[in-house]
Amino acid sequence: MTITIDAPKLIKAAPLLRAQNVSKTYGAVQAVRSVSVEVFPGEVLGIVGESGSGKSTFLRMLNLEETPDSGSYTLDLPEVEGNLFDLDRFARRMLCATRIGIVYQNPHLGLLMKHSSSGNVAERLLVAGERRFAVLREKASDALEASEFPLDRLDAPPAELSGGMQQRVQLAKAIALEPALLLLDEPTTGLDVSVQALVLDTLKRLQQDRKITMVIVSHDLGVIRTLADRVMVMRRGEVVEAGLADQIFQDPQHAYTQQLVHAKL
Amino acid sequence: MSLATLTKNWEPMSYGFLDASAKREIRRKMLKAVAVPGCQMPYASREVPMARGWGTGGLQVSLTLMNPSKRVKVIDQGADDSVNAASIRRFLARVSGAPTTLDTLEADLIQSRHRIPEEKLREDQVLVLQVPNPEPLRPVQPNMSIARQMHADADYGRMWLQLYEQIVRSGRVMQGASYPSLVNGRHVMTPSPIPRWDVPKLHMAKHLTILSAGREKRIHAVPPFTRVEPLVFDDVPYKVEDHGGLTCNRSGAKGFFMNEIPQDDGSSTYEISDSEFGVKTIKQAEGERVEFGETWYTDGEMPS
Amino acid sequence: MTTVLEVQGLTKGFTMHHLGNHLAAFDQISFDLRAGEFLLLKGQNGAGKSTLLRTLYRSYIAQAGQVIFHSNHGAIDLLRAADVDITLLRREEIGFVTQFLVARPRVSAEALVAEPLRLAGQSAEAALKEARKWLAEFGVKEDLWRAYPTTFSGGEQQKVNLARALILPQKLLLLDEPTASLDVKARAALVARLRELKAAGTAMIGVFHHPDDVAQLIDRVIDLTPGLENEEREDVVV
């Protein structure tokens, strides 16, 4: 006996993000299989699953880095309409630069390691067309400060910083333009536990202060539990279960989710 | 109809050294380059009797533009008398029968390495600049395929990032020569390693400038009356070298771009970089009647 | 008095896939709750009292039944409402009070308590002022207000948690043994606050180890002990 969940009724806002039947294959491997999801403004969606579950591929598609074989993806923003997967390279780049922020697990993917930290943040603003040095500097340091980055290291290159600090630079870069959507791909994986807690705390603060809509991918249930309002569990490219974070952790319905939750220390 | 009637007979040499098809290709690429100011056009870049990197790109363009009535001037870092400039000038004259000159005012075609003469160029003159690295994005994007996409998208944020980094690290923009500039509001080009002093000379200039890189096989152009704007922050103005107050040690010319000559005692003296302009100044001082053209700069200032 | 909650045939069980079995928690529970009413859930250990609260809060997924909640936005079935709707109701109208604090590193006690007010749109300053008032009310020492509760003793954490959970008046409050191991002063503060909220119209469903603590507040009692209402019910430790 199961209960089916209705469509949203009380929430008046339209979903910010809507992905429908997104599928992607790499050769014979079906990486993502008909995934659909809606994320509402200010919501934090967590995607959990083990390596190879397709969660990171899906996130990269949301960042328009990868194009799926089929499916649609819309963001409820005034400047774009229609399926974002159909946008040309130029429109994708502008959209990603101005409205979508991303933090990668590997800082090398998101940062210029030898440029200054403030320069890494300023690059976003430059892409968006800011041409005043003083404004660039001010906005970059504001974003770094919001990410709780020590301002006396403003111009230190990320190559000289610790892993936790590198993630803060990535985060500052991602939020510098006040994105509509913040994507986080294993943002704390590989960091020391204590540093991990601090970065998570920063994310939580930012989410509360700025009401940024986030999609966070992690294999670490603790991370998801700390940040997410809602959780989507993926396995072999498919969504096996989705629900409120506390429900997924306290009353998982699917056998795989139960196994996942019980395996947590 | 036979093959013989369709093709030209073999000739022991071509006029202007390059064969007709090579010149035709370069003409076409120059037209394209003029049509899309600042955009790099690939070309085949033939062998010429000179090593790549010594001005072969400029030489091929000059050879294509030559005819017996074109008067040619060749300069290297402003000097007409350097070995490289003299060799190229002699070669051009030999293969085309064209007359040569040292005076900017008399020249129809000026091939130059790293300088633009101090006297203003006219509508009927063509400046050919030798370019070592035509790609302004190379320092920020080593992958040339991606760099081309960036040009296509006018994705130049990284160029400003480079300037940002220089200001952050050194307190000022350190880019000396090859200052990246936006042409016609669309393409960022490297104006070849001319000093910052020379970049404003290209802006809305009356003459045509062709920039050619032989090793990299790229031609780009600044057509007459085209905007050339050095990339700057709105609140950090573009600055040319502070040479306005320097006097040439040999000619007494003042207010132009100088070469610094270090002295044994650690001090420096200066010599005007545009050698023929210096020569004319000396001749005038000695009482000879010489004609000076209008200069871009007056007393080290360029009127806006 | 207006009806806040209509529970009809609520049934909950747990499927344990690794054990290959299904464990029932409770079957066919039905009751109504009106504004300002206090309902006590009774029953022996394992009768499913906490499970019922969590099912109403949608931390647990029910098997069958219907729970109509008359929210300020309109009536909605809590068992089937979309996740985002539940999130909205949890933020604005439905509170859940346990004895356990979910502390977060580097978040001070007062900031933690003020958070529900911040989320409801109050200014940081006003929220903080109110938070301090409730911390004092529940007997948290002033020098702890700006400290991080992660390092507090269980008792102090519990007080911070109560202040946080009760700071914002809700339409429906679910109380899961909030008084357990609470000192006398804090217990009195809790009862006073509950009385105040009840008078203001908050409907409450509570599970209390010692119901005497809240004796004067109780309007109705439902006993979940198996056999009392439904002979077939099979109970389970959760």
Residue C198 has pLDDT above 90, yes or no: yes
Selected residue of C12, C17, C84 to mutate for chain A interface (largest A Cβ count, 10 A) = C84
Residue A93 in contact with partner chain B when CB distance is under 8 A:
yes
Please tell me what DSSP assigns to residue B196: G
Distance to chain B for A203, nearest Cα, Å: 27
Residues of A in contact with B149 (CB under 8 A): 89
Closest of B207, B236, B201, B239 to residue B221, by C-alpha: B207
The chains in contact with chain A, meaning 3 or more Cβ pairs closer than 8 Å, are B, C
Closest of C128, C129, C120 to residue C171, by C-alpha: C120
pLDDT digits (tens, 9 = 90+) for B61-97: 999 999 999 999 999 999 999 999 999 999 999 999 9
pLDDT for position A40: 95
Residues of B in contact with A115 (CB under 8 A): 161, 165
pLDDT for position A193: 83
For C84, which of A3, A43, A208 is closest by C-beta distance? A43
Residues of C in contact with A245 (CB under 8 A): none
Domain count, chain C: 1
pLDDT digits (tens, 9 = 90+) for A106-137: 999 999 999 999 999 999 999 989 999 999 99
Burial class (CB in 10 A: 0-12, 13-18, 19+), A166: buried
Interface of C with A (CB under 8 A): 11, 14-18, 54, 58-64, 71, 73-74, 76-77, 79-89, 104-107, 115, 118-119
| CATH of B20-136+178-225 among 3.40.50.11310, 3.30.420.40, 3.20.20.70, 3.40.50.410 | 3.40.50.11310
Residue C238 has pLDDT above 60, yes or no: no
A positions 145-164 inside 8 Å of B (CB): 155
Q: How far is CA A23 from CA A26, A113, A181, in A?
A: 10, 33, 21
Instruction: Please give the mean pLDDT across all residues of chain B.
Output: 94
Q: What is the dihedral angle through the alpha carbons of B7, B11, B17, B19, rounded to the nearest 10 degrees?
A: 10
Q: What are phi and psi of B47, to 5 degrees?
A: -75, 135
Selected residue of B141, B153, B161, B169 to mutate for chain A interface (largest A Cβ count, 10 A) = B161
Tokens of C91: 């933020």
Determine, yes or no, domain membership for A201.
Answer: yes
Tokens of C71: 């929210």
pLDDT digits (tens, 9 = 90+) for A75-112: 999 999 999 999 999 999 999 989 999 999 999 999 99
Mean pLDDT to the nearest integer, C205-234: 76
The chains in contact with chain B, meaning 3 or more Cβ pairs closer than 8 Å, are A
A positions 186-245 inside 8 Å of C (CB): 197-198, 200-201, 204, 208, 226, 229-230, 242-244
For B168, which of A93, A118, A132 is closest by C-beta distance? A118
> What is the side-by-side strand order in the sheet with A70-75?
A29-39, A17-26, A70-75
pLDDT for position A85: 96
Determine, yes or no, domain membership for C234.
Answer: no
pLDDT for position A1: 53
**pLDDT level of residue B14 (50, 70, 90 thresholds):** confident
Residues of C in contact with A10 (CB under 8 A): 71, 73-74, 76, 81, 85, 88-89
Residue owning tokens 């009647």:
B289
Distance to chain C for A200, nearest Cα, Å: 9
Distance to chain B for A25, nearest Cα, Å: 25
Interface contact A10-C87, CB threshold 8 A:
no
Distance to chain A for B181, nearest Cα, Å: 15
Residue C231 has pLDDT above 60, yes or no: no
Q: Answer with the residue of higher pLDDT: B145 or A50.
A: B145
Mean pLDDT to the nearest integer, C70-74: 93
pTM over 0.90? The answer is no
Strands (E), B9-81: 41-42, 72-76
Task: Assign residue C84 a region (left: φ > 0; alpha: ψ between -120 and 50; beta: otherwise).
Answer: alpha
Task: Assign residue C170 a region (left: φ > 0; alpha: ψ between -120 and 50; beta: otherwise).
Answer: beta
Determine, yes or no, domain membership for C154.
Answer: yes
Determine, yes or no, domain membership for C235.
Answer: no
Residues of A in contact with C87 (CB under 8 A): 43, 229-230, 244
| Nearest-by-CA chain B residue for A131 | B233
Residue C234 has pLDDT above 50, yes or no: no
pLDDT for position C228: 55
Residues of A in contact with C28 (CB under 8 A): none
Distance to chain B for A17, nearest Cα, Å: 26
Determine, yes or no, domain membership for C229.
Answer: no
Residue A242 in contact with partner chain B when CB distance is under 8 A:
no
| Nearest-by-CA chain C residue for A198 | C105
Tokens of C40: 């006590």
Interface contact A10-C54, CB threshold 8 A:
no
pLDDT digits (tens, 9 = 90+) for C78-87: 999 999 999 9
**pLDDT level of residue C232 (50, 70, 90 thresholds):** very low
Determine, yes or no, domain membership for C202.
Answer: yes
Residues of B in contact with A136 (CB under 8 A): 164, 233
Residue C7 has pLDDT above 90, yes or no: yes
For B167, which of A93, A132, A133 is closest by C-beta distance? A133
pLDDT digits (tens, 9 = 90+) for B160-207: 999 999 999 998 888 889 999 999 999 999 999 999 999 999 999 999
Residue C37 has pLDDT above 70, yes or no: yes
3-class SS at B221?
A: strand
Q: Answer with the residue of higher pLDDT: C1 or A90.
A: A90
Determine, yes or no, domain membership for A103.
Answer: yes
Domain count, chain A: 1
How many residues can be counted in chain B? Answer: 304
With an 8 Å CB cutoff and a minimum of 3 pairs, decide whether chains B and C touch: no
B40-45, long-range: CB within 8 Å, 24+ apart, which pairs? B40/B134, B40/B135, B40/B151, B40/B189, B40/B218, B40/B219, B40/B220, B41/B218, B41/B219, B41/B220, B42/B217, B42/B218, B43/B217, B43/B218, B43/B219, B44/B217, B45/B214, B45/B215, B45/B217
Tokens of B281: 């100044």
- Can you list the residues of chain A whose pLDDT is less than 50? none
Q: For chains A and C, count residue pairs whose Cβ atoms are closer than 8 Å.
A: 93
Interface contact C84-A11, CB threshold 8 A:
yes
With an 8 Å CB cutoff and a minimum of 3 pairs, decide whether chains B and A touch: yes
* CATH number where A51 lies: 3.40.50.300
Interface contact C17-A247, CB threshold 8 A:
no
Determine, yes or no, domain membership for A4.
Answer: no
Asked whether the beta carbons of B25 and B43 are under 8 A apart, the reply is yes
Residues of C in contact with A43 (CB under 8 A): 84, 87
Residue B41 has pLDDT above 60, yes or no: yes
* CATH number where C100 lies: 3.40.50.300
Domain that residue C162 falls in:
3-223
Residues of B in contact with A155 (CB under 8 A): 168-169
The chains in contact with chain C, meaning 3 or more Cβ pairs closer than 8 Å, are A
